Amino acid sequence: MDGKGIMKQFVVFKLDDEEYGIDILQVKTIEKMSEITRVPKTSSYVKGVINLRGEIVPIIDLKEKFNLGESALTENTRIIIVYADETIVGLIVDSATEVIDIDSELIEEPPESIGNIESGNVYGIGKLEERIVILLDVQKILNI
């Protein structure tokens, strides 16, 4: 890579076939799907809470939140535990594939609208040779 900026690491995951990334500094762990306890009176994309080693963590279906339909659970389904300030949330994703380095020079401002995702949730677009990764802003996603 020929970047001159600061290298940033992102956890890359998939929703359907699109690739998304979250700053690794905001990711606590990546978990396999576990039993979710439903919480009533919440938005439909809030799937409930799980017990993460003694901590109660709310779980959001990211696809549903982005209006991409409800996640179908498969072998590859993962929960990415992210945090911002004191809020901690688990995001259901179709699969978490890898961690990549992206040169901050290669991150572009998000366009006005990216499909169904409100552009407010997007922090930038990372370009990596042939790949395009939509980088999400955890803070914004957690701001209800």
Partner 1 sequence: MDISQYLEIFIEESQEHLQSLNQSLLGLESNPDNVKLLNEIFRVAHTIKGMAGTMGFTTIMSLTHEMENVLDSLRNGEVKVNSHMIDILFECLDYLETSIDSISNSGKEPETGINHLKDKLKSLSKENVSDKESKESNKGEASQKDNYIEDFLFNQYDEELTRKALSEGMKVYKIKIVLAKGCMLKSARAFIVFKTLEEYSEIFKSSPKVEDIEDEKFDREFKLAVVASVDKNVVKKDIESISEIEEVIIEEVIYINEGAKDVEEITVTHIDNEELTAKTDYYHDLSVKKAKIGKTVRVDINRLDNLMNLVSELIIIKTRLEGIEIESGDLNMTEAVEYLERITTSLHDAVMKVRMVPIERVFNRFPRMVRDLSKELGKEITLTMTGEETELDRTVIDEIGDPLIHLIRNSIDHGIESKGERVKNNKSVDGRLFLKAYQDGNSVVIEVEDDGKGISTDKIKNKIIDTGFATKAEADELNNNEIINFLFKPGFSTSASISDLSGRGVGLDVVKTKIESLGGNVEVESVIDCGSKFIIRLPLTLAIIQALLVNLGTEKYAIPLNSIKEITSIKAENIKNVQGQEVLLYRENVLPIIRLANILDVKNYNEQQEYITLVVVKKGEKNSGLVVDNLIGQHEIVIKSLGKYLGNIKAIAGATILGDGQVALIIDTNSII
Site for partner 1 contains 86 (CB under 8 A): yes
CB of 42 to partner 1, least distance (A): 6
Stretch that binds partner 1, among 37-45, 71-79, 112-120, 132-140 (CB under 8 A): 37-45
CB nearer partner 1, residue 38 or residue 131: 38
CB nearer partner 1, residue 85 or residue 130: 85
The beta strand positions in the chain, using DSSP E, are 7-15, 18-23, 27-32, 46-52, 55-61, 78-84, 87-93, 95-103, 107-108, 122-128, 131-136
Six-digit token string for 123: 């922090």
Q: Binder to partner 1 among 22, 62, 102, 142 (CB under 8 A)?
A: 142
Using left for φ > 0, alpha for ψ between -120 and 50, and beta otherwise, residue 116 falls in: alpha
Q: Binder to partner 1 among 53, 74, 75, 109 (CB under 8 A)?
A: 53
Residues 6+ positions from 52 with CB-CB distance below 8 Å: 29, 31, 81, 90
d(CA 86, CA 107): 27
CB of 86 to partner 1, least distance (A): 6
Site for partner 1 contains 51 (CB under 8 A): yes
Q: Which residues would be at the binding site for partner 1 (CB under 8 A)?
A: 35, 37-42, 46, 48-51, 53-58, 86-89, 142, 144
